[in-house]
Amino acid sequence: MAADQCQYVDAVIVGSGFAGALIALQLGTAGKRVLMLEAGPEIPPNVNGYMERFFKATAKVPESPYPPDLFGNNGLNDPGKVNAGRATSVMLGSWNNPAQSYLVQKGPMPFGSTYERIGGGSMHWLGTSLRFLPNDFKMRTLYGQFTDWPISYEDLDKDLEHSWYAKAEAELGVSADVDAQQYLGIHFPKNYAYPMPAIPLSLLDQTIANKIAGMTIDGVALRVTGTPAARNSQPYRQRRTCAGNTNCIPICPIQAKYDPTITVNEALRTGNVTIMYRTVANEVVVGENGRISQINYLQYATESGPQTGSGCVIAKAFIIAGNAIETPRLLLMSKNGGRTPYGVANSSGQVGRNLMDHPFYVTWGLMPEQVFPYRGPLATGGIEDLRDGRFRGQRGAFRIEIGNEGWNFVVGGIGSGDDPGVTTVDFINGMNISGVNTGKESLFGTELVKRLNDRITRQFRLGFLVEQSPDATNRVTISEQHKDGLGLWRPQIDYNLSDYTKMGIAAAKKASDAIFARLGAEAHTATPAPGDASAFDWEIDGKKTRLYFTGAGHIVGTYRMGTDRSNSVVDREQRSWDHDNLYLVGSGVFPTVGTANPTLTLAALSLWAADTILRKNLN
């Protein structure tokens, strides 16, 4: 597109999620002219419309409150006709069918994580804001595995004045207790305090904490630690205090949980930042001397309507802040008329490679006593003590999330619905889908209420977020057979689990069994079906065991940072090795995934990137 048709700004940012929003605010506050391109529609001032969609949705999956619509008159909407498609939970049942799955998945295992195309893809996050462990940055040095990061924990947390972690915790509004978070080498600047006190532990957290006191696994003493969360424990930056609703995923009904629209609105109020919605970047253009000269985009008005416009942006600095699937998709689509046949920023051949997640192993049970789930945020505590150890030389580590939502995720992992609905229908109709009505009793009145009170108030779940190895064959490419509604090639995914990762899931299974035994809990985790592509067989203590995993929503890798342009895509400051005015930000820069939810670290890195852009490209 001709330059005389372009808009001119200091910086253009593709994506308005965590990374894009934080960078936009920093640049806008510094007086720089910034244009943000957002693929999805504008988010309304309140969430009442989204709440109504969620209440009315037949499939109450994380994506159900948000556009585009999941279902049409003939079932799942065809992703080939949607202008800004997304991966959704309901598509996982047909994960390898491109007519129903936006991601063109080639397997051999399904990539189970999903994302939005509004609000930068971040609307249904949980709010968990853990720091990485110091040892997570040096896996090669300490354990002979994978690669080291080109930065250390200390680079993100030097002192109170120069702590990117502290700045990120302030921007997101994190509630936590410093003393509780100082484990496995995590440390804080002197006199540091989180922005807000910790969210209180739930009754379930407290019960588990009391019962596992003195328990060890592989010689490691276990304890329950409060989980840092970008959720208000008191009023903060005009956000309400958490009211204890147990549906943080997919939506906080009172907006007590941080989401990037808060930061986007702050950026817009600087008067230096503008945003264009329903605007999909479709090419990164390389100009003279290898520098990026412009970004081209397409626009649409409705989810599946025709393209309504196109344009381009010329800037001094270009920031791609899509997620670890959409960012490599854009780079790989950018062929520049054949001048970049392998895509932009890809001289290393690493763009799209090393796709990671936290394979999520979930177990369900009934406590021997009432713990009253379905109250409080989804997760307020966890067991963090197994996130690091010498075992990482052989198998993946994991953290254990304690779920306050009972069996609301799915009943026992059977994929046949969620509670309290399934168990209620069981006891009314004399069925046993849930596995807790073994006598197939058909009850009503007082007896029904008593039985439900007994069963539902004892429900709990544990979630094991397992470290995944970075493998070059796990990758994002672009399909050359399947397009979206704008005629752009959709993302193609090749995905599998290594033995290192499977051994981590097996260790999680053993840990779950030991914890359940300690709790005196009744196990209700279903065995995966024989044809389940997310399941695999593994030998545990001489016995073949069927294990499974699902996605944690943590999409990591695909444009890793490093010290050498031959084996990484960006340098330690997240600047492309190939194009000195191009920055690729977000969790895609992570060389390894560790065990912490990625959001806080990507936020800290984004603030660092904004500082670098101001100093090196916009000074």
pLDDT tens-digit series, residues 60-71: 788 888 998 888
- Please name the residue that has the structure tokens 């990026």: 292
Beta strands 34-37 and 273-276, pairing class: parallel
CA 178/CA 193 separation, integer angstroms: 6
CA 404/CA 446 separation, integer angstroms: 26
Q: What pTM value is reported for the model? A: 0.97
Mean pLDDT of 46-68: 86
Q: Per the domain annotation, does 518 fall within a domain?
A: no
Task: Give yes or no for residue 45 having a pLDDT over 90.
Answer: no
Q: Per the domain annotation, does 514 fall within a domain?
A: no
Task: Give yes or no for residue 3 having a pLDDT over 80.
Answer: no
Instruction: Tell me the β-bridge partners of 12.
Output: 35, 318
Token pair for 312: 């381009």
Task: Give yes or no for residue 415 having a pLDDT over 70.
Answer: no
CA 135/CA 124 separation, integer angstroms: 29
Q: Which residues contact 585 (CB under 8 A, 6 or more apart)?
A: 19, 20, 23, 319, 320, 321, 574, 602, 605, 606, 609
pLDDT tens-digit series, residues 232-241: 999 999 899 9
Q: Which residues contact 119 (CB under 8 A, 6 or more apart)?
A: 16, 17, 40, 43, 259, 260, 261
Residue 476: pLDDT band (50, 70, 90) is very high
CATH code, 168: 3.50.50.60
Q: Per the domain annotation, does 347 fall within a domain?
A: yes
Mean pLDDT of 364-380: 95
Q: Per the domain annotation, does 521 fall within a domain?
A: no
Q: Per the domain annotation, does 202 fall within a domain?
A: no
pLDDT tens-digit series, residues 542-572: 999 999 999 999 999 999 999 999 999 999 9
Token pair for 194: 């989180």
Half-sphere exposure (Cβ direction) of 614: Cα atoms closer than 13 Å: 17
Q: Per the domain annotation, does 424 fall within a domain?
A: no
Token pair for 336: 């520049």
Task: Give yes or no for residue 416 having a pLDDT over 80.
Answer: no
Q: Per the domain annotation, does 565 fall within a domain?
A: yes
Half-sphere exposure (Cβ direction) of 405: Cα atoms closer than 13 Å: 22
What range defines the domain where residue 103 resides?
1-173+258-356+472-497+554-619
Instruction: Tell me the β-bridge partners of 285.
Output: 294
Rg of the chain over Cα atoms, rounded to whole angstroms, equals: 24
pLDDT tens-digit series, residues 8-17: 999 999 999 9
Task: Give yes or no for residue 511 having a pLDDT over 90.
Answer: yes
Task: Give yes or no for residue 414 having a pLDDT over 80.
Answer: no
Residue 557: which of 531, 590, 533, 513 has the closest Cα? 590
Instruction: Tell me the β-bridge partners of 310.
Output: 298
Residue 159: pLDDT band (50, 70, 90) is confident
CA distances from 310 to 8, 36, 279, 335, 356 (A): 15, 15, 8, 18, 33
- DSSP letters of 104-168? EEEEES-------SSGGGTTT---B-PPPPGGGGBHHHHHS-S-B-SS-HHHH-SSSTT-HHHHH
Task: Give yes or no for residue 2 having a pLDDT over 80.
Answer: no
What 8-state DSSP symbol labels residue 289?
G
Compute φ and ψ for 241, nearest 5 degrees.
-75, 140
CA distances from 562 to 150, 416, 600, 605 (A): 5, 44, 20, 14
* Structural domain total, the chain: 1
Measured N-to-C along each axis, helices 261-268 and 18-29 cross at an angle, to the nearest 10 degrees, of: 20
Residue 4: pLDDT band (50, 70, 90) is low
Q: What is the pLDDT of residue 158?
A: 87
Q: Per the domain annotation, does 613 fall within a domain?
A: yes
Strand segments, DSSP code E, in 549-611 are 582-584
Q: Which residues contact 522 (CB under 8 A, 6 or more apart)?
A: 365, 366, 368
